[in-house]
Amino acid sequence: MAIRPRRARASPVIDDLDISLKANEFVSIIGPSGCGKSTLFNMIAGLQVPDSGMISLDDKSIVGQTGAVTYMMQRDFLLPWRTVLENVTLGPELAGKPLAAARADARKLLRRFGLEGFENVYPSSLSGGMRQRAALLRTILCDRPIILLDEPFGALDALTRASMHEWLLGIQREFQCAMILITHDPDEAVYLSDRIYVSTPRPMQIAGIVDIDLPAERHRDVTLSPRFAEHKREVLSLLHALSSPPEAVH
């Protein structure tokens, strides 16, 4: 996947941005609040159209095309009047897949997503982590090669978030999909990613790229390694440079 949107307005949101994503790769984008990250996701998902530039998947343009990728937003957006099973099959249902087949596929995955026995429960009875797992299962069942994740764990407590990180990497390996994550958490970005793009304040550009050299199968003890600390310092250094005031000229 290649993303090169350019904004031509007087006050651009995104300007001269170049991001790529390989099959089964995990990429994170980290940067200041309001820099345009969510606008970028809306463009990739086909919800907004850039003034100029290119967004392509397998060398084919997906500009303005919805349904080419799946998008998991910050909130889980589970419908309170639908059960867990009815919620997770919403994507395939809207895509026209026979309901019986969609529910059969979902039932096969409930245990893997920690939801077995909760298929007839309503979202109000679920914990925060379970709601996010249900939202991700709904996303996975859409069966697209790329998943956009917009701070999906930001509202979870630290312990739940840590367990979700390890679980998410296992899901990615199992279902062989590429993921792009928006986050404000350097630890989360380093732990999950193969590569991190650090973005500037608006207009959004790339201030630096950090390639992550950690084992593909990661567990929490990797966060104690010197390599993890080194990558985190790289990310923090780039972020600090963005927030530092310019030196005075004498």
Concatenated DSSP letters of 148-189: EEESTTTTS-HHHHHHHHHHHHHHHHHHT-EEEEEES-HHHH
Distance, in Å, from the CA atom of 229 to the CA atom of 49, rounded to the nearest integer, reads: 38
Contact 196, 182 (CB under 8 A): no
Structure tokens at 10: 């007087």
φ/ψ region of 128 (left if φ > 0, alpha if ψ in -120 to 50, else beta) reads alpha
Q: How far apart are CA 80 and CA 87, in angstroms?
A: 9
Q: How far is CA 143 from CA 10, 97, 136, in A?
A: 39, 12, 11
pLDDT at 203: 83
Cβ pair 134, 78 in contact under 8 A: yes
Per-residue pLDDT of the chain (250 residues; tens, 9 = 90+): 656 665 545 567 787 788 999 999 999 999 888 788 888 999 999 999 988 888 999 989 999 999 899 999 888 899 999 999 999 999 888 888 888 999 999 999 999 999 999 999 999 999 988 999 999 999 999 989 999 999 988 878 888 888 889 889 999 988 899 999 999 999 999 999 999 999 988 888 899 999 999 998 888 899 999 999 999 999 999 998 877 555 544 3
Under DSSP, the state recorded for 224 is G
User: Rounded to two decimals, what is the model's pTM?
Assistant: 0.89
Sheet containing strand 60-61, strands side by side = 19-20, 2-6, 52-57, 60-61
What pLDDT shows up at residue 2?
59
Longest distance between any two alpha carbons in the chain, whole Å: 73
Name the residue ranges covered by the structural domains of the chain. Answer: 1-18+46-68, 78-143, 180-221+240-250
SS3 of residue 195 by DSSP: strand
What is the identity of the amino acid at 31?
G
